[in-house]
Amino acid sequence: MCLAARSRYFSLTIRQKNGSINDHKITASSLVMTAANTAEALIFLHMPKSAGTTLNRLIEWEYPLFEMYSVDPVLFRWSRAHLWRLPQRRLKKFRVFKGHMPFGLHKILPQPATYITVMRGAVERVISAYYFMSNYMLHPNYWKFRREGWTLEDFVRRSPRENVQTKMIAGADYDALCTAEILMKAKENLQYFQCSRSYRAF
């Protein structure tokens, strides 16, 4: 990974566990290094199209590969299910769990854990997700979009994946309806995160 990625800056709005909110400008690498110095396992909920690939690379700089479990970005449903089936003795060996997965992994881990994530403005994230899915041939929706001629408007109106970030933090399925109950659950779950962060890269 190039050094430029390690020094990438983010404008962050941080909600601490005590409810206070602060604005900061930090490097993404400082977030990872802080987490690496704790005794808890690190769970990185990778929100799709929210700078997660950059953070993934930084995590891989700070931890040995054999101490990480990475959920496959394409076969994420299978990969998540495989993770949830691992025996406790295997889970205990990992210091990092990262990838596209819903909140809740800490419930099955034998070791203490903390969560981190990077969230993105909903409109920007949806636009980015559409163009990624419609141009990346390995994505499960690529051929569907091509075959049916989906536009960005079709994606917004017809895709069940609205409010993906809220649903992931709530521990709900991607394709579930985002109800008021799911929103409340997501807010409750923020207490398990070191901090919740939204970003603007520059």
Domain ranges of the chain: 3-120+190-201, 122-181
- How is 66-106 classified by DSSP, letter by letter? GGEEE--SSSHHHHHHHHHHS-HHHHTT-SEEEES--S-GG
Report whether 65 contacts 95 (CB < 8 A). Answer: no
- Say if residue 157's pLDDT is above 60: yes
What pTM does this model have?
0.76
Model confidence pLDDT, tens digit, residues 112-132: 999 988 888 888 888 998 999
The confidence band for 197, taking pLDDT boundaries of 50, 70 and 90, is: low
- Say if residue 173's pLDDT is above 50: yes
Rounded Cα gap, residues 7 and 202, in angstroms: 11
Model confidence pLDDT, tens digit, residues 43-82: 999 998 887 778 888 888 889 999 999 998 778 889 999 9
